[in-house]
Amino acid sequence: MIYQTGDAYPTKKVLGAKTYFMKKQFAFLCTLLLVCSNLIQAQKSSNKPPNIIVIFSDDHTQQTISAYGKSLMQTPNIDRIAKEGMIAKNTFVTNSICAPSRAVLLTGKYNHINGLKDNGPRRFFDGNQQQVQKLLKQKEYQTAWIGKWHLQTLPSGFDFFRILPDQGQYFQPNFINMPNDTTSYKGYTTNLITEFSTSWLDKRDTSKPFFLVVGEKATHRNWMPDVEDLGAFDNIDFPYPANFNDTYNGREAARLQDMTVDKTMVLQDDLKINVNWDKVGPGMFARLDPTQKAAYKKYYTEISKQYDALKNDSAALLKFKFERYLKDYLATAKSLDRGIGKLLDYLAAHQLDENTVVIYASDQGFYMGEHGWFDKRFMYEESLRTPFVMRYPGHIKPGTQLQEMIVNIDFAPTILNIAGIQTPSDMQGKSFLPLVTKTTPAAKKSFAATWRKSMYYHYYEYPQPHHVAPHFGVRTTRYKLIRFYGPHNNLELFDLQKDPTEMNNLINDSSYASIITELKKELKDLMEHYQDFEALTTWKTTETTIQEMPK
């Protein structure tokens, strides 16, 4: 007899007692197996580590992100990540420049260890070394890097990459596709990077978790806004920061840099003023298609007229230049923030938002006119800091604010921790997850007690492109000691509580003598701890020319 689905289960009478009980036992066993397999399945999926997206922008600084408080513009989508998760208020980089910062993100190590100290001719990143994506891949993650990469050697350990060559272009950019083919794509870079990211997500293997780095080009020089954002900030007057007219008194390296809005910023290439749009050469503007070029021509011709009208007023011209810089920079940040919103919407629309960690950070901070500058490099606050916000649903309480000092060497260990992977012993950073995930206040307090109280910095690239002398230094919660070397041989000390904009070098102030001694010792200890022996030698051999080395 064949029983069809839906038929009543045969009775004891129909089957006979023995067969009836055997069948009953069999059915019970089947049910048990099914329950067990469901439980294992459920266990498996709850054990499946979360997906991780790192949105990593270029030169996007905290002064322009509203989640950080006083901001030059609103960034609703970056703020959304912070609101749904956490914001790290004191995030610093080890070396404020692009390629080295990316190398730190990948390796969790200082540049003297990962080998990439600057953007220049020495810019060779050894892709054979241990990297975060390779460790994630061992844990079944699918890995991808899409967008700006800037490490000269091609990515390794990623299942997929589509990267901008070198700095990349804002319009009709070339991308390098795997294994090594360059193709030009029509459109605006930020939009393309977003589209490529979501289409990679569409095609991914859904049985595995993913690790995706979205490498944004914005907000890098020469700040070419998307056509729809031209003029987005024109109704706003931006005042100078209080120290715009810095005379660099007592700060030799600051005096000798070449990165002022006044002298270094180029009227045509940077500010698009008085460009001959009908005859643009092979530079950035040549990438605009006819419609985009017409929009640029229309908009910037009007701006040029306003500039020309100020011709005999040098103070007004400088203010105009400064404001134009901010307006173009912020307009590129506007499309960046919009793209982030699209990524977040994509996650929600595909039911991925609950199981995806989203991190937003930049490779370093930037000057928005502070000290009269654009660019980065210096260990001063604006470029030493970088934004860092992260959402991790179910684990980080919405609205969490982290005050402890985190450094970009901590990014890789934290990402690994999220994936359930222990930090390899040779990584120099530490996961800060226990500082922000849900735990008892006591546990958090005891972990925080072990957390770093100072950070170490080392910048190398000199002289080009901006004549910033190499330097290393230490920052504590209150003080900063910087040692310039190479073309300079001097020390700077700042009391950040009394002088947050770093205008008064206190190195010769005798009332700070004991603090200087302590900071020198701390700096030396950090160099030893992070094994920066070259810096230690520089410190030792030349220190006597400035002040006594600590014993």
What residues make contact with ligand SGN under the rule CB under 6 A?
58-59, 97-98, 119, 150, 167, 220-222, 375, 465-466
CB of 364 to Ca ion, least distance (A): 6
Beta strands in 442-551 (DSSP E): 454-459, 471-476, 479-484, 490-495
| 321 binding partner (options ligand SGN, Ca ion, none; Cβ < 5 to 8 Å by kind) | none
At 3, the amino acid letter reads: Y
**CB 119, min distance to Ca ion, A:** 9
List the interface residues with Ca ion, window 42-61 (CB under 5 A).
Answer: 58-59
Shortest spacing between CB 363 and Ca ion, in angstroms: 4
For the CB of residue 99, give the shortest distance to ligand SGN in the complex, in Å.
7
Q: Which one of 77-85, 96-104, 276-284, 472-480 is the stretch in contact with Ca ion (CB under 5 A)?
A: 96-104
The DSSP secondary-structure symbol of 104 reads H
Residue type (1 letter), 250: G
Residues 483, 474: contact at Cβ < 8 Å? no
Token representation of residue 58: 């270029």
Alpha helix (H) residue ranges in 259-313:
290-308
Nearer of residues 307 and 411 to Ca ion, judged by Cβ: 411
Span from 98-106, 127-135, 226-234, 475-483 in contact with Ca ion (CB under 5 A): 98-106
Contact partner at residue 119 from ligand SGN, Ca ion, none, CB < 5 to 8 Å by partner kind: ligand SGN
**Which three-class secondary structure state does DSSP give residue 262?**
coil
Three-state secondary structure string covering 175-193:
EEECCCEEEECCCEHHHHH
Name the residue nearer to Ca ion (CB basis): 98 or 136. Answer: 98
Contact between 216 and Ca ion (CB under 5 A)?
A: no
Q: Which residue is nearest to ligand SGN (CB)?
A: 98
What minimum distance in Å lies between the beta carbon of 471 and ligand SGN?
Answer: 16
Q: Which is nearer to Ca ion, 108 or 215 (CB)?
A: 215
H-type helices in 115-188, by residue range?
Answer: 132-138
Which amino acid is located at 427 in the chain? M
Contacts for 300 with CB less than 8 Å, ≥ 6 apart:
272, 273, 275, 277
Residue 167 or residue 439: which is nearer to ligand SGN going by CB? 167
Joined tokens for residue 110: 């200082």
DSSP3 helix / strand / coil % (the chain, rounded to 5): 40, 15, 45
User: CB under 5 to 8 A by kind: which of ligand SGN, Ca ion, none does 118 bind?
Assistant: none
Q: How far apart are the first and last CA of the chain?
A: 95
Tokens 């005798």, residue located: 510
Tell me the residue nearest to Ca ion as measured from the CB.
98
Nearer of residues 159 and 461 to Ca ion, judged by Cβ? 461
Q: Which of residues 337-376 bind Ca ion (CB under 5 A)?
A: 363
Q: Which of the choices Ca ion, ligand SGN, none does residue 222 contact, using the CB cut-off of 5 to 8 A by kind?
A: ligand SGN
Q: Six-digit token pair at 493?
A: 């000390």
Cα angle: 159, vertex 165, 167; to 5 degrees: 125
- Please state the length of the chain: 551
In the complex, what is the shortest distance from the CB of residue 59 to Ca ion, in angstroms, rounded to a whole number? 4
For position 98 contacting Ca ion by CB under 5 A, the verdict is yes
Q: What are phi and psi of 550, to 5 degrees?
A: -70, 145
Kind and range of the H or E element at 143? strand 142-148
543 scored as a contact of Ca ion (CB under 5 A): no
The span from the CA of 135 to the CA of 157, in Å, is: 9
Closest contact distance (angstroms) between CB of 222 and ligand SGN is: 5
CB of 220 to ligand SGN, least distance (A): 6
- Are 161 and 137 in contact, with CB atoms under 8 Å apart? no
Site string for Ca ion, 303-322 (x = CB under 5 A): --------------------
Q: Does 118 bind Ca ion (CB under 5 A)?
A: no
> Would you call the peptide bond into 463 cis, given omega within 30 degrees of 0 as the criterion?
yes
**Residue 312: beta bridge partners?**
none
Residue nearer to Ca ion on the CB measure, 135 or 340: 340
- Choose between 61 and 417: whose C-beta lies nearer to Ca ion: 61
Compute the least distance from the CB of residue 374 to ligand SGN, in Å: 8
- Say how far apart CA 396 and CA 404 lie, in whole Å: 16
Comparing CB distances to ligand SGN, the nearer of 333 and 418 is 333
Residue with smaller CB distance to ligand SGN, 221 or 391: 221
The distance of closest approach from Cβ of residue 542 to ligand SGN in the complex, given in angstroms and rounded to an integer, is 27
Nearest approach, Cβ of residue 269 and ligand SGN (Å): 6
229 binds, among Ca ion, ligand SGN, none (CB under 5 to 8 A by kind): none
Given strand 356-362, what is the order of strands in its sheet?
181-184, 174-177, 160-164, 142-148, 210-215, 51-57, 356-362, 388-391, 86-92, 400-407
* Number of residues engaging Ca ion in binding (CB under 5 A): 4
The reply to whether 382 sits near Ca ion by the rule CB under 5 A is: no
Query: Which residue, 78 or 259, has its beta carbon nearer to ligand SGN?
Result: 259
Structure tokens at 138: 């061992």
Which stretches of the chain bind Ca ion, using CB under 5 A? 58-59, 98, 363
